[in-house]
Amino acid sequence: MVDLKGQYEYIKDRVNASVLDVIESTAFINGPEVHQFQKELETYLGVKHVIPCANGTDALQIAMMGLGLKPGDEVITADFTFAATVEVIALLGLTPVLVDVDPVDFNIDIAAIKRAITPKTKAIVPVHLFGLVANMDAIMDIAKEHNLYVIEDNAQAIGATYTSKDGSKKMAGAIGHVASTSFFPSKNLGCYGDGGAIFTNNDDLAHTIRGIVNHGMYERYHHDVVGVNSRLDSIQAAVLRAKLPNLDDYNKARQQAARKYTKAFEGIANIITPIGCCANEGVICDDCDCHVFHQYTLRILNADRDALVKHLNEQGIPCGVYYPIPLHLQKAYKDDRYIETDFVVTNQLVKEVISLPMHTELDDEQIDFITTTVINFVTQ
């Protein structure tokens, strides 16, 4: 699914040298590399504050802690996403409110958000799923109208840009009140272990969060709030600094591979290819980077998706089903309030989706083999 080894070959000298420098310096925690990476990522994203932390799940949790969300507060998020998003909501004693997604872009459904709002709603967590930015214009409008926070889960879309109705462009993660990301190795910007970060343009929130990630300390040994220990270590920061200058090229390579996949699947009736552009009405993205293809995900219609998975694996082609079970049906997150007719799209998608290999090192021969194998199976 990913080729981290192939990617490493190109940056080996840079990565090895900077990792060795960290080891020589012994500044393993909060060393200069972490600070430098923070500054470089702030510049890249055009946000005032990046707060590095230990992983993307922590980043979400800390963002919610920083906003002061309290038990009983309701947080709306998508039913069709990785469990980390709903996990931290539940862990903090907040009430997750899962809603359906859009069948075209796989992102949180705007009408479903509106229906789910109650007087207890405090925040919306859009997940930019598979690398495509959610409909942030609509989400920010709803948030403004109902006085809600927007926490972008940007674990899958770092480097994506979003063009608003007014024509202005922003990076994913720089649109909501606060955002989280993950540097898990297979993410678009991955380190060689765990890592994550929180982004915000709000000075006060950034200050609060910087304390929370460090045991609630704003002054040494003065613990003003309950915090956590969540740090990006200097070795990971060194790896990320070596890779950040390549992120746009990495994303371009993913988009290029996505275009080739989509072209190959043209005209195959029982395959729906992913859209390559945000689904905002009235927005034409020229030179569009709103999709950075963390995953390339097909919908397979009128064919046995699970048999296709098995067939691809037998042919030596890795593939993934993201995600096979809707979150509202997971044992940990079941709730009597949920009714199946509210999750028609997610319930359908979990049966149809399949994600093909997607990374920066895919070559034409691999894409040909993968697409031919898929097409032969679904049209047989």
Ligand X SMILES: *Cc1c(COP(=O)(O)O)cnc(C)c1O
Cα distances (Å, whole numbers) of residue 148 to 12, 36, 54, 70: 45, 33, 27, 14
CB of 371 to ligand X, least distance (A): 25
Residues 6+ apart with CB under 8 A from 150: 123, 124, 125, 126, 136, 139, 140, 143, 175, 176, 177, 178
- Pairwise CA distance, residues 63 & 206, whole Å: 9
| Of residues 84 and 290, the one with the C-beta less far from ligand X | 84
CB of 183 to ligand X, least distance (A): 7
CB of 73 to ligand X, least distance (A): 20
CB of 128 to ligand X, least distance (A): 8
| Of residues 186 and 372, the one with the C-beta less far from ligand X | 186
| Of residues 178 and 374, the one with the C-beta less far from ligand X | 178
Cα distances (Å, whole numbers) of residue 366 to 78, 255, 317: 33, 15, 9
Torsion of CA 299, 301, 305, 311, to 10 degrees: -100
| Of residues 33 and 153, the one with the C-beta less far from ligand X | 153
| Of residues 55 and 346, the one with the C-beta less far from ligand X | 55
**Cβ distance 63 to 40 under 8 Å?**
no
| Of residues 19 and 60, the one with the C-beta less far from ligand X | 60
| Of residues 59 and 319, the one with the C-beta less far from ligand X | 59
| Of residues 56 and 173, the one with the C-beta less far from ligand X | 56
CB of 263 to ligand X, least distance (A): 27
- Pairwise CA distance, residues 251 & 15, whole Å: 19
Q: Which residues bind ligand X (CB under 6 A)?
A: 55-57, 81-82, 84-85, 127, 153, 155-156, 182, 184, 194, 196
Q: Name the 3-class secondary structure at 203.
A: helix
CB of 156 to ligand X, least distance (A): 5
Residues shown for the chain: 380
CB of 329 to ligand X, least distance (A): 18
Vertex 184: Cα angle to 200 and 104 (nearest 5): 75
How many CB atoms neighbour CB 214 within 10 A?
Answer: 19
Both structure tokens of 258: 């996505």
Kindly state the helix (H) or strand (E) to which residue 124 belongs, with its residue range.
Answer: strand 121-125
- Pairwise CA distance, residues 71 & 92, whole Å: 7
CB of 181 to ligand X, least distance (A): 8
| Of residues 360 and 371, the one with the C-beta less far from ligand X | 360
CB of 230 to ligand X, least distance (A): 10
Q: Name the 3-class secondary structure at 102.
A: coil
Taking CB atoms, the residue at the shortest distance from ligand X is: 56
Vertex 211: Cα angle to 206 and 213 (nearest 5): 95
How many CB atoms neighbour CB 314 within 10 A?
Answer: 9
Q: Quick one: CA dihedral 252, 175, 214, 71, positive or negative?
A: negative
